[in-house]
Amino acid sequence: MSNTRVNPSAEELAARVERRGEFKNKERGQLPKIFWAEQEPGERVGNIREVPFAYTPMQARAEAVRCLSCKNEPCVSGCPVGVDVPAFLKLVADGDFRGAIRRIKETNLLPAICGRVCPQESQCQENCMVAKVHKDLGFAVSVGKIEAFLADWEREEGGVELPPVGAETGRRVAVIGAGPSGLACAGDLRRFGHEAVVFEAFHKAGGVLVYGIPEFRLPKDIVQAEVDNLERMGVRFEFDTIVGQTFTLDELFEEGFDAVYVATGAGLPYFVNIPGEDANGVYSANEYLTRANLMGAYRFPEEDTPVLRRDDVAVLGGGNVAMDAARTALRLGAKRVYLVYRRSREEMPARLEEVHHAEEEGVEFRMLSAPVEILTGSDGWVRALRVQRCELGEPDEKGRRRPMPIEGAYEELPVQIVIEAIGNGPNPLIPKTTRGLTTTRHGTLVVEEATMMTTRKGVFAGGDIVAGASTVILAMGHGRKAAGAIDAYLKAEAAGLPKPV
Ligand code: FAD
Ligand code: SF4
């Protein structure tokens, strides 16, 4: 149970921590990185347990010693919520874990989750000066792994500190959607002393954290522990409630809510639009992952929900969702899983760690391959995927080189399941059933950037319903910004002042 990278011995780790005050910056930047252990690929495809193991306390301290405490703090500007990275790493190096987690929570309420799923290599760790010394991004200080270690340490030690709840204001705010954005907003609303009621369509809180991201990347008891903390702060949850269907947003105001935060995410799957998509055996990644994760299909028949299990599976896409679907298919018993992506490896938007793990586990990457048809047998079930080879052309408006199909270069992949993971759009239900909201041509809600207020007074929005399919930390950042703006809005109303619009 280890990965192939060699770590310093226990004595060397202890010596590094002991000598931490003596290192000159140049020496510090040259200290070997501390790697975490992982389940072996052959073993882990047979279970759904988390792949990486946590740092030990001494490993976390020795890794934190590598931080150069850069004056200009490039890692802080790389973090969407501005976690004070050098400050918390210094506390970790000194062994003050309680102080370190407290420091992180000043800006990030969900460190156990962000430490695991944030794309650190393109955020805080991308700017890390240690990576520049080593000329390799992989050598950046492992900010995310240390963050996850601290959150786990705090949970296991007990005495998790909850943010203080403000004196009750008597003002009521409805939060629609219990994903990371809604949860972050609800937590902050309680800090301001407002009542926060979260309405969620599913029977569980967490949004993509529970229905999309699999257990082997983010254990669900970690998400549940964060939800429990919010309940202890007084956040109330109403499950199995689809706002726009069970009742409308307008009815929430009629019922006495003073403001609403819409955080309904981007759960509407896109399809490639090729012939054969209506065949048996074609899934959207959303449905496939929801069945496997939230509905527990990997435990079928002990659980009620099944999901199709076949030997050969093709997953379309190159993002985190595609990696999650491909790795889930392996865990559901597939013998061969193809990942079919139109561009090259460099353009893949997935987190580097997920790409690395997928490859280790045996997912076959079919780069520069565009799906053109799903072929079926006479029984209507999928029998193959037809792909066309591509080459890269000129960059598109986002700077990514366009895939250009090569004439006549076709290939058939013999598969019985096709999972489409090419992206998601915002759910249109709330915009369709609520007057006064404005959407962009992509269907996302238009908000005022400084306050996250929509074009309707008293209705705020954030997360994927505003940003399109984005990241956990950005969704949380929106939730916190909106909570601050809702507080200002309600205070202005109470004081009889014009509300900030
Ligand atoms: P969501 O998490 O989508 O939550 C929205 C919630 O609203 C859901 O619970 C939904 O049931 C509920 N809802 C919707 N409509 C209604 C309604 N009308 N009434 C009541 N409730 C409603 N990001 C990362 O940073 N790192 C990753 O590794 C990563 N991996 C991902 C893997 C997958 C499979 C997916 C799908 C996404 C991944 N993302 C990742 C993206 C990230 O999860 C999202 O950006 C983030 O969850 C958005 O948060 P949110 O709160 O806006 O929406
Ligand atoms: Fe430490 Fe790296 Fe941040 Fe510099 S950039 S303060 S070395 S984590």
Percent of the chain as helix, strand, coil, to the nearest 5:
40, 20, 45
Taking 50 as the threshold, does the pLDDT of residue 65 lie above it?
Answer: yes
Q: Say which residue the tokens 């040259």 belong to.
A: 30
| Strands ordered across the beta sheet of 369-376 | 369-376, 382-395, 401-413
Q: What is the CATH number of domain 10-158?
A: 1.10.1060.10
Per the prediction, the chain carries an average pLDDT of 94
Comparing CA positions, the residue from 49, 334, 349, 361 lying closest to residue 217 is 49
Q: Indicate which ligand has the atom closest to the C-alpha of 70.
A: 2
Atom of ligand 1 nearest to the CA of 325: 34
Asked if 339 contacts 365 with a C-beta cutoff of 8 angstroms, the reply is yes
| Boundaries of every domain in the chain | 10-158, 172-267+425-494, 271-422
Q: Picking from 16-20, 42-46, 118-122, 414-418, which range would have the lowest pLDDT averaged per residue?
A: 118-122
CA of residue 99 to ligand 2 center, whole Å: 18
Mean pLDDT (whole number) for 286-299: 91
The pLDDT of residue 115 is 96
* 445 within ligand 1 shell (Cβ under 6 A): no
CA-closest residue to ligand 2 atom 2:
128
**Do 172-267+425-494 and 271-422 fold alike per CATH?**
yes
Q: Which residue has the tokens 């409630």?
A: 241
Q: Which residue reads 């509905």 in tokens?
A: 295
Distance 304 CA to ligand 1 centre (A): 24
Fold of 172-267+425-494: FAD/NAD(P)-binding domain (3.50.50)
Domain 271-422 class, CATH top level: alpha beta
What residues does ligand 2 touch, defined as CB less than 6 Å away? 67-70, 73-75, 85-86, 89, 127-130, 141, 143
**Which is the closest atom of ligand 1 to the Cα of 474?**
45
Considering every ligand atom shown, identify the ligand nearest to the alpha carbon of residue 114 and give its number: 1
Q: How far is the CA of 24 from the centre of ligand 2 (A)?
A: 15
107 pLDDT band (50/70/90 cuts)? confident
**Tokens, residue 203:** 């029977």
Q: Cα dihedral sign for 411, 412, 413, 418?
A: positive
Checking if the pLDDT of 449 tops 60, the result is yes
Ligand nearest to the CA of 69: 2
Query: In whole angstroms, how far apart are CA 232 and each of 87, 109, 165, 240, 278?
Result: 29, 14, 10, 21, 46
* pLDDT on residue 1: 36
User: pLDDT-derived band of residue 161, with 50, 70 and 90 as boundaries?
Assistant: confident
Ligand 2 centre to CA of 85 (Å) is 7
Residue 166 parent element (H or E): none
pLDDT tens for residues 329-368? 999 999 999 999 999 998 899 988 899 999 999 999 999 9
What is the mean predicted confidence (pLDDT) over 427-454? 96
